[in-house]
Structure 1
Amino acid sequence: MLLMLTASPINAEVFLRFGVYTSDKPTEMVRKFRPVLNALEHQLTTVLDEPVRIRLKVAASYEQGIEDLVSGKVDFARMGPASYVISKQRNPELQLLAMESKKGSRTFFGIICVHEQSPLQTVGELKGRTFAFGDKHSTIGRYLSQHLLSAEGIRADDLAGYEYLDRHDRVGAAVGAGQFDAGSLKESTFRKLQKKGPFPGWRIISEPPVLFSDKGNPDHCTHTLYR
């Protein structure tokens, strides 16, 4: 999560714009983040002793989400490590505000999956096969999976074909439908798709962890948000 706040007059109502990009479908992003922002509004209003309103802006792509933050169209945003690095390169004034955590853990997983009826058992067997990536700026959907493929000696030319499908849920759906031999997506999205169907199913052939540490440089509203 990143922060870029502008100064507001003392005791004036504070309006903030929070940005996310569609790593999953837009309705899912709203479902996940609107309750968090409602709680954050209440916390900030109490601590700052002035009303705070936070508008959620869902960007249609990773690139648009990055540009919204870099250009100041949103005040702070949630994004993955790769998008953060790109954003920081474009605007060095951006500050890292907080890390997401679940039950005290700042770790989440990406996976490479195949259809449950696929004969493939390992990443090394993907040579000559088709592969579905997420967004071109996605840490898990692109960079992590490409690292794993490269570690097995598999380059772009070694694949029968590949596409960037932009969202984790689209990757899972495409692999489940048999449109690609394998694909990379968030483990949490994979589990949700398994529960919902309607495809026959998937099987994981790689589970690499992505680890995060808690670092940042907050102040003023940033101090309050950081808590």
Structure 2
Amino acid sequence: MTPSVYRIAPALLPLLLLLLLAACDRTPQTASGDPAAVPERALVFAVYPYDTPTRLVAHFQPLVDYIAARLGRPVEFYIASSYEDHIRRIAGDGADFAYLGPTPYLRAHDGYGAGKAARVQIIAAEDTYFSVIITRADSEIRTLAELRGRTMAFGSHKSFSGHYVPRGMLRKAGVTLADLADFSYLGRHERVALAVLYGDYHAGGVRREIAEQYLAQGSGLRIIAESPPLPPHVIVARPGLDGTTVEAVRRALIEPDAAGRSAIETLQPGRHFIAVDDARYDFARQLVDSLDRDCGCQPLPW
């Protein structure tokens, strides 16, 4: 059987077109007859993978939930797969807020964009923190100078407290990378602590709070050197995020209510946020630049 073919009279085409346009222009209605509200896009708060995912969620999810409550809109928590992923997201449009250490901050602020408008925006910073160099508790090593000819574990080569600061401490003690028998970049601070604990390396550089977690467990580690106070970790907003939202988050962090104080304490007891500007990170710029120039090894790319 030949298929039926339906034809529309030419005179009816203008009427049909008007009906189709009217249907396309119809605004969705709620049950009350009001235009349906379009849900706001969830904002994204990103953290770099300096600790285990379980610990990062435990520490940061209350803060993310608090920020969402203060803004009155959803905020999703995202753990970056790497330092590179973290920096690309906050310097582009893959995240709206990010928690950055000094080195990733420098990269995101100085390394992306051609002008001030393309730079990440500082919201607030934590109080200062510290880097330490650890050994096994039963190690014969007591000073940094004794690491000459030994092995050393660092975190990510992009980490300020897990790489640049420990290297600066070694350099001050007269020990360069070339003086070490071997060294490796292991990524997360916890991996460094475990590698030293298991005897894979003679020493390692980590954030003090990571070392303290193991010391509190009687794990068999010992701190042999501690850095001076370091430029703080900072929470930033992506380039172009509106000023109203940035200021609302700044107030929520610097002047928290009871819920905010509880959420911030979850990061670490006694922690609080303060106002800072970019000049606070000049020391980090100088240290990173000087160590990259006198590396004594093949420079590592970002």
Q: Give the TM-score range, shorter chain.
A: 0.7 to 0.9
Tell me whether 119-128 or 210-219 shows the greater mean CA deviation: 210-219
| SS in structure 1 at match of 2:89 | helix
The correspondence for 2:125, drawn from 87, 99, 103, is 99
Structure 2 unaligned regions, length at least 5: 1-36, 113-117, 252-302
User: Alpha-carbon deviation of 1:93?
Assistant: 2.0
User: Alpha-carbon deviation of 1:12?
Assistant: 5.5
Q: Give 2:46's aligned residue.
A: 19
Tell me which amino acid in the other structure corresponds to 1:35: P
- The alpha-carbon distance between structure 1 residues 31 and 216, as it changes in their structure 2 partners (threshold 3 A), is closer
User: Alpha-carbon deviation of 1:136?
Assistant: 1.0
Q: Give 1:152's aligned residue.
A: 173
The correspondence for 1:204, drawn from 223, 226, 229, is 223
Question: TM-score scaled to structure 1, two decimals?
Answer: 0.84
Q: Does 1:176 align with 2:197?
A: yes
Tell me which amino acid in the other structure corresponds to 2:125: M
User: Alpha-carbon deviation of 1:87?
Assistant: 0.9
Q: CA–CA distance in 2 between the matches of 1:163 and 1:177?
A: 15
Tell me which amino acid in the other structure corresponds to 1:73: G
Structure having the higher strand fraction is 1
Structure 1 unaligned regions, length at least 5: 1-9, 46-51, 101-105
Q: CA–CA distance in 2 between the matches of 1:212 and 1:146?
A: 16
The correspondence for 2:56, drawn from 29, 38, 41, is 29
Tell me which amino acid in the other structure corresponds to 1:41: A
1:118-172 superposed Cα distances (whole Å, 9 cap, x missing partner):
1111111111000000011101001101111111221111100000010111111
User: Alpha-carbon deviation of 1:88?
Assistant: 1.1
Q: CA–CA distance in 1 between the matches of 2:39 and 2:76?
A: 17
- The alpha-carbon distance between structure 1 residues 18 and 216, as it changes in their structure 2 partners (threshold 3 A), is closer
Tell me which amino acid in the other structure corresponds to 1:39: Y
Q: CA–CA distance in 2 between the matches of 1:212 and 1:132?
A: 22
Equivalent residues of 2:131, 2:205 under 8 A apart: yes
The correspondence for 2:105, drawn from 77, 84, 109, is 84
Structure having the higher helix fraction is 2
| SS in structure 2 at match of 1:150 | helix
Q: CA–CA distance in 1 between the matches of 2:106 and 2:54?
A: 26
Tell me which amino acid in the other structure corresponds to 2:119: E
Q: Does 1:225 align with 2:249?
A: yes
User: After TM superposition, where is structure 1 displaced by more than 4 Å over at least 4 residues in a row?
Assistant: 213-218
1:60-90 superposed Cα distances (whole Å, 9 cap, x missing partner):
2112211221221111100101110011123
User: Alpha-carbon deviation of 1:43?
Assistant: 1.1
Larger Rg: 2
Equivalence map 1:96-135=2 (5 Å): 96-100=122-126, 106-135=127-156
- RMSD of the TM alignment (CA)? 2.2
Question: TM-score scaled to structure 2, two decimals?
Answer: 0.64
Q: Give 2:66's aligned residue.
A: 39
- The alpha-carbon distance between structure 1 residues 170 and 99, as it changes in their structure 2 partners (threshold 3 A), is same
User: Alpha-carbon deviation of 1:107?
Assistant: 1.5
Q: Give 1:140's aligned residue.
A: 161
Q: CA–CA distance in 1 between the matches of 2:103 and 2:62?
A: 26
Q: Aligned pairs, how many? A: 205
Equivalence map 1:32-71=2 (5 Å): 32-45=59-72, 52-71=73-92
